[in-house]
Amino acid sequence: MKLKYLLLFFLILSCKSNHNALYEFDPRTLKENKITLSEIADYITYIPLDNSNPFSLIYGPKYFINNTIYLSALNSGVIAFDRKGQYLRRIGSIGRGPGEYIYYYQFTVDDKSETVYVLDSNIIKVYSKTGNFLRSISLKEFGDMVVAVEFYNSRLFVTFALQSVDNKYDWIILDTLGNLVKKKERTIPPFKSNWPISGGIYKFNNGIYNWNTFNDNVFSILTDLNYGTSFLFSPGEHRIPRSEIKDILQFKLYFNPNSVFETSRFLVIKYFYQNLIIALIDKKSNVSYLTLLESGPTLLGDNLIGGIYNDFDGGLLFQPENYFVENDREYMVGLINAYQIKALLKDNKFINLNPKYPERKKEFEKLANALTETDNQVLMLVRLKK
């Protein structure tokens, strides 16, 4: 009996220790250390996107699967390019007819079959690799405000907005036909908020992670579908309240995560708290590296100025947006505008700059000279050091 209680004591102590060891992201306490691109990367690839399908704005996720790049763009829907940036095809089409979608900001791709799943409000529209409509998966029975969908371990991981009082779940897992595999009941009591953005999903190291603006816990879900807390958003008055905010100017007073992902070395969080900031947190030392962004006409990412200093080739500052692994190498992905690249060529600082790799500066200049100001955006792939 004494042995039983002794084991129970150590189990409780262990649980407390693990909880206390969780990293807690607190934007109020981060220190503004600096880091350059050459400190984290050993190669940069630029992919100009084909202008035969012009667009002004690229939305959220970007998938690099086999030889294909998938992304969604304003007024274009979900489109596919080859790895050189040449336009391949459109996945489905925008519209209200059978097999068409109205919303396409969030989508995901099966990394084996390249089947594409487009989140159209609370319905997932399913398309083949060639762009043909296959079927619809309704999410209406689970909730009315879906945040994101991600393909993971041959299943679909779906998250819900907590500020919708009708949503009963934090997240659910479906098979590819729409059958429920697992669900997680919401732990936060229902509330109403006029905050429109609320969370997201990212994949890292064979796991999938779910974060929400109104939740302190960032959950990790493993291949066996068990879940736990990966890290925490620090609670406090800096967090968006679970109530309606009457004065829209008050929103700038609160911590609002815009995107979250991880690499082997860093936790990367783009957020707004008094300023728009990208934070890289070294996961071993907890040292924070911050870069402030200035917004243009939109906060959607198209006209943001700033980023990690590019001493690699002297090109534009790097704004990491997402992450993928290919051939056991890690990459962070960003977007740069053609007109900004062209303008940099005329900047005296760039002209007189001697970056770490001068030969790569010449390649960047060659890229810039081949572009026109109205060209589509350029993907910037940063290969991380091992």
- Kindly report, residue by residue over 17-51, the tens digit of the pLDDT: 344 589 999 999 998 899 999 999 999 999 999 99
Sheet containing 155-160: give its strands across: 146-152, 155-160, 169-174, 180-185
Query: Residue holding tokens 């990412």?
Result: 301
For 159-188, the pLDDT digits (tens) are 999 988 888 999 999 999 999 999 999 988
Buried-exposed string 61-87: b where 16+ CB fall within 10 A, e elsewhere: bbbbbeebbbbbbeebbbbbbeeebeb
Other residues' Cβ atoms within 10 Å of the Cβ of residue 312: 24
The helix (run of H) or strand (run of E) holding residue 366 is helix 358-370
Pairing relation of β-strands 378-384 and 329-336? antiparallel
Mean pLDDT of the chain: 90
Q: How far apart are CA 70 and CA 364, in angstroms?
A: 24
Backbone phi, psi, residue 283, to 5°: -75, -20
User: Per-residue pLDDT averaged across 7-18, rounded?
Assistant: 40
Q: Over range 202-219, report the average pLDDT.
A: 94
pLDDT at 321 over 90: yes
* 317 vs 299: which has the higher pLDDT: 317
Angle (CA) 205 213 255, round 5°: 110
- Structural contact between residues 110 and 153, judged by C-beta atoms closer than 8 angstroms: no
pLDDT at res. 5 = 42
**pLDDT over threshold 90, residue 85:** yes
How much helix, strand and coil, in percent to the nearest 5, is found in the chain? 15, 40, 45
Q: How far apart are the first and last CA of the chain?
A: 50
Model pLDDT, residue 99 = 94
Q: Which run of H or E residues covers position 348? A: helix 348-351
Give this prediction's pTM.
0.90
Confidence of residue 263 (pLDDT cuts 50, 70, 90): very high
DSSP letter for 36, please: B
Cβ contact 290:354 at 8 Å: no
H/E element, 137: strand 133-138
- What is d(CA 181, CA 219) in angstroms, rounded to the nearest whole number? 18
DSSP for residue 298: -
**Average pLDDT for 77-84:** 97
What are the C-alpha distances in Å from 336 to residues 199, 256, 368, 386?
Answer: 25, 23, 11, 25
